[in-house]
Amino acid sequence: METTHNPSKGVVVITGASAGLGRSCARKFAEAGYDVGLLARGIDGLEGAKKEVLQLGRKAVYVQVDVADAQAVEDAATKIENELGEIDVWVNNAMNSVFSPIKEMQPEEYKRVTEVTYLGQVYGTLSALKRMLPRNKGAIILVGSALAYRGIPLQSAYCGAKHAIQGFFDSLRSELMHDNSKVRTCMVQLPAMNTTQFGFVKTRLPNKPKPMGKIYQPEVAADAILFAAEHDRREIYVGYPTVQAIVGDKIAPELGDYVLAKTAFEGQQTNVPEDLNRKHNLWEPVPGDHGAHGGFDAEATYSSPQLWASKNKFKILTGALSLGGVVLGALAAQKWLNNNED
């Protein structure tokens, strides 16, 4: 049933919405009261995502699209506005990757990962700006990663694309500020997550790939992305490991090189041999509705104290100032009493 029970909070477009983080974002925004435009290549996952949004009482429209095709993204935006109304939030989430040593990578693989992971965000932003700038409102979320600052072995194409997004984001922010635009933008930097990509991406590793380090469920990142859409933040880091990687790279990049050289090859692989002939999603989607989670539920966490602190930093600061005022007042009162004792 496609009718809603309450007025819509707005319309959000999510790329890469059929699985993984995008799927979790679709649920999160629907729960928050948004109608959802779903963009992805996999039809099975798109239909599953639409069903979930409808079950949450919101409207949903999906468009089967490859975000590497700029005209297809623009056509999808037009379709969503025609059916759902003005787009209020655009979440650039679609990505692709290849797990492989650089010496074994092929030029066409770099091209493909860059077109999806980087240019897909550029094309989505252009379509969003085309609609938001004349209205002087809206929010564009770019989904980044700790790897937008700190490249790691075996994911050079993905790391390069995420670094490119970071540079594009800086330019976009500056131009919007110059124009005094009320269109907001935020880049959300993610940690390792338990998403479906590790079963989908093309790999040359001997064992099955895995997220490196502490693993977070995609719901944690989806919460951060919803927060970014509704608050004026330049950048949001998700999880302490993201803070550690970004800040650490600014302070001691050579130490990062050394540590990753020693740990990142084994750290990105399980102990289970990989079938190098399995289907991957570099060129075409893997059939089926795969949901939001990957195969690491037993290791993944649903919480991030660091993200909570980031979201509530103004409340924390206000509380600290209030507490400081109380303490100073008590000390002043005690001093007055001491000075006025007989």
* Domain extent listing, the chain: 10-311, 317-342
Residue 271, phi then psi, degrees to nearest 5: -95, 10
**Percentage of the chain modeled with pLDDT above 90:** 87
Q: Chain centroid to CA 18: how far?
A: 14
Residue 2 predicted with pLDDT over 50: no
Sequence-ordered list of residues with C-beta below 8 angstroms from that of 230, at least 6 positions apart, any chain: 139
Residue 1: which pLDDT band, with cuts at 50, 70 and 90?
very low
pLDDT at 172: 98
Cα gap 16→91, rounded to integer Å: 9
Across the range 198-224, mean pLDDT stands at: 96
Identify the CATH number of the domain defined by range 10-311.
3.40.50.720
Q: What global pTM score does this model have? A: 0.90
- Give 11's strand partners: 35
Residue 7: which pLDDT band, with cuts at 50, 70 and 90?
confident
Among residues 189, 195, 228, 225, the alpha carbon closest in space to that of 209 is found at 195
pLDDT at 290: 95
- The per-residue pLDDT for range 239-250, each reduced to its tens digit, is 999 999 999 999
Active site residues: 158
Residue 71 predicted with pLDDT over 70: yes
Among residues 165, 214, 210, the alpha carbon closest in space to that of 189 is found at 165
Cα gap 50→319, rounded to integer Å: 42
Quote the mean pLDDT of the chain: 92
Residue 5: which pLDDT band, with cuts at 50, 70 and 90?
low
Across the range 123-131, mean pLDDT stands at: 98
- Contact between residue 226 and residue 32 where contact means Cβ atoms under 8 Å apart: yes
Looking at residue 153, the DSSP 8-state letter turns out to be T
pLDDT at 202: 97
Residue 339 predicted with pLDDT over 80: no
Element (H, E) at 34: strand 34-40
